[in-house]
Amino acid sequence: MKKLLGSLLLLGLTTAPVMAKNILDKLTVAPGFEISLFANDVENARQIAVSKKGIVYVGSRKAGNVYALIDHNSDGVADKKIVVAKGLNMPSGIAIKDGDLYVGEVHRIIRFKNIDTQLKDPKFDVVYDALPSERHHGWKFLRFAPTGELIIPVGVPCNICAEDERFGRIFALNVETKQIKTIAKGVRNTVGFDFHPATQALWFSDNGRDMMGDDIPPDELNRATQEGEHFGFPYVHAGAIIDPEFGEGKNIADYTSPALALAAHVAPLGIHFYNGKQFPASYKQQLFVAEHGSWNRSKKSGYKVGLATIEVGRVTKYTPFITGFMKDETTFGRPVAFAELGDGSLLVSDDYANVIYRVSYKKN
């Protein structure tokens, strides 16, 4: 079988399901859980959102598509894929509110109203179009706050550059009045955040700068405690390291330190507080983190799903949950983002393997 697969790879004849199954066989999930394929051949799958009807929507970055995945018989495997929209400008971020699908392009936010009822060639309206057009770190992650505002990040258009009020921010948009405000500053590039189910505190990942070596600065998992906090970029990294280009004269104590300093270059993207009922109680309101994996480190790092145990607003433990996306410097997959299905199972997108995984708990 391995010889046959190798021959097919050389000939470029492997099908998406064969390749997806080959990747799935390499993954290891925490004891008591099992991982399966919810969907394959979902090109460049990024953020996921699930409607009240259980339709799974998926954004993409390089593909420029938004997908709808339907599991008609509720067996944990999507049996239909519809391309809802194509040719968009890096529509990585998506969110659903009141039956409407919001999509974050680089330069604007668009909305497909009552999306579940018009999956074939739906029309959209433009909600907000005053975002910067720079594509470097310009792709989005979207989520609605408990207050009803749409949270929108804008990454910096550089590796390291001077602070600019248009970039390196997390914004909150009132989709009705179009009023927008800054809720966090000094954020180099977050492509993942969530609100704690009990405290409503905003937690977000942040990708640290490059070109300071293999092991610094750390990537970050942050907790916002007040509106307008500054998390350090470009002056201070991970609450501990003064930037060699922009940090002169800056005081580390003036900036908010991360809730957890991750390893350098692991590229944390989506994060998700588990709030379902299928997993054991110890997982309730604990934080999953998708480490997308390094791109320019001499030896690769990341390439896993981690679990941050949180007690009274503090990370007390960080452990691997899904591993095997990379082995011996060979990449098989790159996890991106999460969503829960109605049965409490956890979906994980992978923009490298072009699949959506489903993680479920095996009850005794």
pLDDT value, residue 22: 82
Domain layout of the chain by residue ranges = 16-361
pLDDT value, residue 2: 38
Percentage helix, strand, coil for the chain under 3-state DSSP, each rounded to 5 = 10, 40, 55
Ramachandran assignment for 176, one of left (phi > 0), alpha (psi -120 to 50 degrees), beta (any other) = alpha
Q: Which position has the higher pLDDT, 113 or 3?
A: 113
What is the DSSP code (8-state) at residue 234? Answer: T
pTM of structure:
0.94
Question: What distance in Å separates the CA atoms of residue 55 and residue 347, rounded to the nearest whole number?
Answer: 12
| Class of the domain covering 16-361 | mainly beta
Question: What distance in Å separates the CA atoms of residue 83 and residue 349, rounded to the nearest whole number?
Answer: 16
pLDDT digits (tens, 9 = 90+) for 14-68: 345 556 668 899 999 999 999 999 999 999 999 999 999 999 999 999 999 999 9
Question: What distance in Å separates the CA atoms of residue 103 and residue 127, rounded to the nearest whole number?
Answer: 10
